[in-house]
Amino acid sequence: MEGDGDDGRLGPANFNNANAGKRESRIDKYAKRSSQMFIPYSVVDFRHSQAPAPRSPAYPSRTLQDDERGLTRIDSIDTITAEKQEAAAAVHEEEVLGSTEIYDKDGNIRFVPTPTPDPKDPLNLPEWRKWLAVASLCFFGSVSLAAEIAVAGLLPVFILEYSGVDPASTLKHADLKGNPDPLGVVPPGVTPVSLASVSLLATIPMLSNGIATYLLVPLTAAIGRRPVLVLTSAFSWAGGFWAGYSKSLTSHIAARVFHGLGSGAVEALLPLIVQDMMFLHKRNKAVASIIASQGPMIVLFGILGPYIAVNWDWRWIYWITSAVGVLTWIMLILFVPETLRQRSKAELAGHQLWPVAPGESRTQLDYATYGERTRWDDIGFFQTGTHWKDAGKQIVDTIKTTMFPAVMWCTLLQVAFGMVMGATGQATSFALLAAGIPFELTGLSQIPQILSTVVVFIVGGPVADAVSLWISKKKGGREAEHQLPNLILPIVMAITGALVFGYADQNHLHYAVLLLGTFLLMTSTLISAPIVQNYVIESYPQWAGPVLVNVSTLRVFISFPLNTQVTTWLQQLGPMMFTVYLSIVLLAVSTGIPLLFFFGKKLRIRTSEKVTKRQ
């Protein structure tokens, strides 16, 4: 080989010639190393090297479940900060049940509880169907209560009847002007019957109402609202016929107990059925309709009662009201469907759980999935099956909710108004007799109830709904406590009415003043009823039955011994002093309104359940 390296030029390196390495210059060695360094990576074959590259490991793979975490990574300060920001944005705030958003972002009223896509859901009933059911409930409630009020106004008749004196001839010629003593109707020389025993005819249904409520509400959780309602309404008219045919005071009182078991449905089942099928913003109107409708029946039988008792026989009052009760029973069977439905906490809070089409305000009904509503859904029984475990849970929840602040306060308020109602029913007829009104005309004292009916429906219904909605809009959210300002007016009316009635009775003023006091007392009691019921249900919607049971039964058990003594206290204290004490009780209980309005939610947070607020 020619030595061409002498010309000073670099030639291509010959790596296969071993002898050439002996004659390589310093530059040639550098070039050789550089050439090896700059060989493209793509032409290197590692398979023939002494240290072969390891095979890529193969690991078993599977899809992670929703509740599993992926591989752990080492975070930097940047990734940690970003992750915290994302987590903070995704966190769902918790809200206590009883608090909800009643308005959407456009200012429209939302449907609370949330209606489901199921056509069988009571919330999805047509409006006319709901109000037909409410009308039937109105008819039943009014007849049941009218019978109780009418009997309370006949206490002078029963005092004479069970003292062995003919009430018709005695009362037709009695002159009791200036004598407010209830036993003043008994002629001289006749041993009067125990006033407390006769008073049981007016008060014992209240006690059986409470017992019935405690049993009926858990029973509705087990077998449904409808079977219990139809059964108890039959007790009502059956007890009335029994009372009409009774031959002794003991039998008469027993019949009143049976009648009270039936009318107990008015206390608890009717508000429950309304809350099952009515949205939150319409409940006051519905319950107020039921209570206001009692006015015309009270007026009718209140006027007819004394007149019939003097000119015919007091038993006809029972026979007439019971015959009408049979008609109401038939209406309940035909027009009040089963309304019991288990709802989740999210539904009760008004969360939108199903998609809503653009331009719609609620989820469309899904007939393909749930099927259509049938005639059996309207008039059948036991559609929901039997759930005895739920009944037991209702009893446990009733015990658990007994000492809740809202429940205790509503109970005390209802006790105070219950005494107002008892005093009005039992004392009015004696007060009118003392004012010189013939007994057969004392039923005319019920005429102001016509005006009372209108006031109760308007103030206790649409006005109460409007006030609570206005407060909710101003506050930016709905709280159960927004119902409480609606109670200010009836409490003021009750205190005023008590003082007017007591002063007029004590000083024998014109009967028109007595009727003014009676109007204020009766109207205030009826206005407060739907507001109190809806407030306590709205405070604890998940325990609607138990809290209603507590308010109704505790009110009865506390009021019963007090109302039994009303006529005795009127006799001992005098009308004025008695109504002063009654006003003080009302004023003391009313202090709970501002306390619960400002601190009620904090108390509910400690006692109620929570639900995740959907953003």
Q: What is the pLDDT of residues 437-447, one digit of tens each?
A: 777 677 777 77
pLDDT digits (tens, 9 = 90+) for 213-261: 788 888 888 898 899 989 888 888 999 999 999 989 999 999 998 888 8
Rounded distance between C-alpha atoms, residue 383 and residue 417, angstroms: 38
Determine the pLDDT at residue 69: 46
Q: What is the mean pLDDT of the segment spanning 161-181?
A: 69
Q: At 457, give phi and psi (nearest 5°).
A: -65, -45
State the DSSP code for 187. Answer: P
- Give the CA distances from residue 238 to residues 147, 232, 457, in Å, rounded to whole numbers and listed in that order: 13, 10, 30
Provide the strand spans (E) within 357-493: 478-479
Q: What is the pLDDT of residue 214?
A: 81
User: Which residues 6+ apart lie within 8 Å of 239 measured at CB?
Assistant: 255, 256, 257, 258, 259, 260, 261, 262
Question: Any idea which of 316-320, 355-359, 388-392, 486-490 has the lowest mean pLDDT?
Answer: 355-359
Residue 224 lies in a domain: yes
**What is the pLDDT averaged over residues 487-513?**
88
In the predicted structure, residue 506 carries a pLDDT above the cut 90:
no
Q: Side chain identity at 20, as an amino acid letter?
A: A
Mean pLDDT of the chain: 77
pLDDT the model gives residue 607: 82
pLDDT digits (tens, 9 = 90+) for 113-137: 888 888 888 888 898 999 899 889 8
pLDDT of residue 558 exceeding 80: yes
Q: Residue 197: CB partners within 8 Å, gap ≥ 6?
A: 162, 249, 253
Q: Is the pLDDT of residue 92 over 70?
A: no
CATH number at residue 460: 1.20.1250.20
Average pLDDT over residues 557-574: 77
Q: Find the mean pLDDT for residues 149-166.
A: 81
Please tell me what DSSP assigns to residue 484: G
Residue 496 pLDDT greater than 90, yes or no: yes
- Please check the confidence at residue 529 and state whether its pLDDT lies above 90: no
- Give the total number of structural domains in the chain: 1
Beta strand spans in 321-369 (E): none
**579 — pLDDT class (breaks 50, 70, 90):** confident
Its domain, for residue 603, covers 122-345+385-612
Residue 500 contacts residue 513 (beta carbons within 8 Å): yes
| Residue 183 pLDDT exceeds 70 | no
Give me the mean pLDDT over the 1-12 stretch.
45
- In sequence order, which residues have a C-beta less than 8 Å from that of residue 552 and are 6 or more positions away? 209, 210, 213, 267, 268, 414
Asked if the structure places residue 305 within a domain, the reply is yes
Q: Give yes or no for residue 88 having a pLDDT over 70.
A: no
Q: Please name which of 231, 154, 46 lies closest in space to residue 439, comparing C-alpha atoms.
A: 154
* pLDDT value at residue 174: 62
- Where residue 41 falls among pLDDT bands split at 50, 70, 90? very low
Residues 535-545 have pLDDT tens digits of 988 888 888 88
- Distance between first and last Cα of the chain: 88
Mean pLDDT of 2-19: 46
Query: If pLDDT is split at 50, 70 and 90, which confidence band does 52 have?
Result: low
Which pairs from 392-395 meet CB under 8 Å and 24+ separation? 392/218, 393/221, 394/217, 394/218, 394/221, 394/545, 394/546, 394/549, 395/218
Name residues whose C-beta falls within 8 Å of residue 544's C-beta, 6 or more positions apart in sequence. 272, 275, 537
Q: Which of 550, 549, 552, 547 is closest to 536 using CA atoms?
A: 547
pLDDT value at position 97? 62
Cα(285)–Cα(266) distance, integer angstroms: 16
* Residues 214 and 549 sit within 8 Å (Cβ to Cβ): yes
Confidence of residue 93 (pLDDT cuts 50, 70, 90): low
Helices within 166-224 (DSSP H only): 167-172, 195-223
pTM given for the model: 0.67
* pLDDT value of residue 486: 93
Comparing 94-108, 154-168, 175-189, which segment has the lowest mean pLDDT? 175-189
Share of residues in the chain with pLDDT > 90 (%) = 13
How far is the C-alpha of 324 from the C-alpha of 330, rounded, in Å? Answer: 10
Contact status, residue 262 vs residue 206, Cβ threshold 8 Å: no
CA 556/CA 418 separation, integer angstroms? 8
Q: How many CB atoms lie within 10 A of CB 29?
A: 12
Q: Which residue has the higher pLDDT, 493 or 301?
A: 493
Contacts 24+ apart (CB under 8 A), 339-344: 339/122, 339/225, 339/226, 339/273, 339/276, 339/277, 340/220, 340/221, 340/224, 340/225, 340/276, 340/384, 341/121, 341/122, 341/276, 341/384, 343/113
pLDDT at 26: 53
- Considering only residues 368 and 4, tell me which one the structure prediction assigns the higher pLDDT: 368
Q: What is the mean pLDDT of residues 566-586?
A: 83
